[in-house]
Amino acid sequence: RPCRIGSVRVPELFSLESYPNVHHLVSSVTGELADDRDALDLIAGSFPGGSITGAPKIRAMQIIDELEPTRRGLYCGSLLYLDVRGEMDSSIAIRSLLVKDGQVCCWGGGGIVADSEWQAEYQESITKVKILLETLHNL
């Protein structure tokens, strides 16, 4: 763990951010780095995002690896840049398009929880990728 024990705080929990095609729940987490850690340890420990893996993270990642027959590739991977000034931005490639060797791959998905209804989750995934496909069609 990259932070000092007892230093982690959550000053903002589940704040709603709305965008034209999606709503996100956002939380802010702060902490003091442990003496033997640096910012890159913190970044490395943040990926993959908990919204992708589920919790507890390590065991959830093991289960995903056991159940999914192929690697995800770009899908649900982390995109990040870090510059020499220490500026950084990152995202998770959930709804995404990848063009490679004349082929287009399109990904999208959603979260499954204990009371999820598979039909509704499936339809939500279709709705999310529809926007990507319409954009691609209009190019």
Per-residue pLDDT at 49: 86
Tell me, yes or no, whether 60 lies in a domain. Answer: no
Residue 21 is assigned to a structural domain of this protein: no
Task: Please report whether residue 72 resides in a domain.
Answer: no
Question: Does a structural domain hold residue 139?
Answer: yes
> Is residue 8 a part of any domain in this protein?
no
State the pLDDT confidence band at 16, using cuts at 50, 70 and 90.
very high
Domain membership flag for residue 49 = no
- pLDDT score for 8: 96
Q: Give mean pLDDT, residues 13-36.
A: 92
Exposed, middle or buried, 52 (CB in 10 Å: 0-12/13-18/19+)?
Answer: buried
In a domain, 71, yes or no: no
Helix (H, G, I), strand (E, B) or coil at 58: helix
Over residues 91-138, the pLDDT tens digits come to 899 888 888 999 988 988 877 888 999 999 899 889 889 988 998 889
Assigned domain for 16 exists: no
- For residue 110, give its domain range: 94-139
Closest CA to 124 of 135, 111, 133: 111
Does this model's pTM top 0.95?
Answer: no
Q: Is the dihedral of CA 2, 92, 81, 20 positive or negative?
A: negative
Number of domains in the chain: 1
pLDDT (tens digit per residue) in 31-64? 999 999 998 999 888 888 888 888 898 999 999 9
